[in-house]
Structure 1
Amino acid sequence: MKRIIVYSRNTIVVFILLFLGICEGNAQVESDTVERKEETLPEETSPKYKDPNKALWLSLLLPGAGQVYNEKVWKLPILYGGVITSIYFLEFNNRRYQRFLVALDIIREGTEPNPFPNLNQDGIVRNVNYWRRNRDAIYLVFGAIYAFGAVDAFVDAHLAGFDVSDDLSFKIEPSVEPIMASSASVGISLKIKF
């Protein structure tokens, strides 16, 4: 009986120590979250802070709107140059595709003369497939340019509050390190200052 009581006391002591350790761990976690909130609040209220999600949605709604939100208007001509160029080539390839498709229908019906006298039916089919593939590839290029604009706005908003002050530096300097009492090695050292 006495042994059971001692065992119970040890068990109670272990549970109390575990409980105190858990409470202390929870208190530490809560203080960490309070510190994190304090760290993020000034960043979100600073004038440099940009909301990445807002920049992404603006750029998805209208190409270039995210860049305007991030105050990087100089990127607009590049983005719209890509969009306009892809639209031009999309229309050009589609127009050629439609021309050869009509010519293929004319040859299959046989009612009118061949609009492309140098090409037979197989040549026209090859041209139809060629211009259709080009048109479909330009759809992918247009989608890639559109997605690139959205990703650029998102990443630029994330990096808006990045510190690029003069305190950051990278220097390459010659260095002399002693090897033994009478000799030294000569080399180059890279110094990074944060």
Structure 2
Amino acid sequence: MGLLFFYCGYSFEAKGQGTDSIGDTAIEVTTPLPKNPKKATILSAILPGAGQVYNDKAWKVPILYAGIITDAYFIGFNNKRYQSFREALFDFDEGIQNDFPSLNRDGLVRNVNYWRRNRDICILLMGAIYALNIIDANVDAHLSGFEISDDLALKVEPHMERFSANNNTMGLALKINFR
């Protein structure tokens, strides 16, 4: 276990070096190497959001934790309602006065099933949030090595296409220019 924390704590980030000159002054240019996807995945699996911080995308962490906290709240809310209707159903079956006197047995069963299903869906959603956290960290680390040029251009132009002598089509064309 100690080796795992040592492995996760060790930084694989290295800097590529080069020189650029402006006049008589030489400036050292450093470009970060791509992030390690395996490390980002392990970090996110151990602590949700740690892979995003490793990938220098810390702005995603509050969104992730807002989703986790909101989902945890709804799991608790749905479970509380499920437990109260379940207890009312048991009381109804034993002939004891319950908290929902206007509901018959079928209404209580429907409510028990409804709140249990909502709780279970929220639990599955929590698993999906956790999995998306790991996937996002892995994909972001893989894409960190791609150089994005400032010379990209997107143009919207009118476009006319002729299918036959009497059949013309007009529309808009999106053109991406790479320089």
Normalising to structure 2: TM-score of the pair?
0.69
* Number of aligned residues: 140
- Once the two structures are superposed, the pairs formed by residues 86-125 of structure 1 within 5 Å of their partners are 86-110=71-95, 112-125=96-109
User: Which consecutive unaligned segments of at least 5 residues does structure 1 have?
Assistant: 1-42, 175-186
Measure how far apart 1:188 and its partner are: 7.7
- 2:144 aligned to 157, 160, 182, which one? 160
If each structure's helix is expressed as a fraction of its own residues, which one has the higher value? 1
CA distance in 1, matches of 2:126, 2:64: 11
Give the structure with the larger strand fraction: 2
Report the aligned-residue RMSD.
2.6
Question: Please, which moves more after superposition, 129-138 or 142-151?
Answer: 142-151
| Residues 169 and 103 (structure 1), Cα distance of their counterparts in 2 relative to 1, 3 Å cut | same
Q: Percent identity?
A: 58
Q: Deviations over 1:35-61 (max 9, x none)?
A: xxxxxxxx9764241011111111111
Counterpart pick for 2:64 among 68, 79, 98: 79
The secondary structure found in structure 2 opposite 1:73 is coil
**Helix, strand or coil: the match of 2:144?**
coil
Task: Say which SS state the counterpart of residue 59 (structure 2) adopts.
Answer: helix
TM-score, length-scaled by structure 1: 0.64
Contact in 2 for aligned 1:170/1:193 (Cα 8 Å): no
- The residue correspondences of 1:143-154 to structure 2 (distance < 5 A) are 143-154=127-138
Query: Quick one: distance in 1 between partners of 2:93 and 2:154?
Result: 71
Tell me the distance in 1 between the aligned counterparts of 2:138 and 2:152.
Answer: 25
Structure 2: which 5+ runs fail to align? Answer: 1-12, 17-31, 159-171
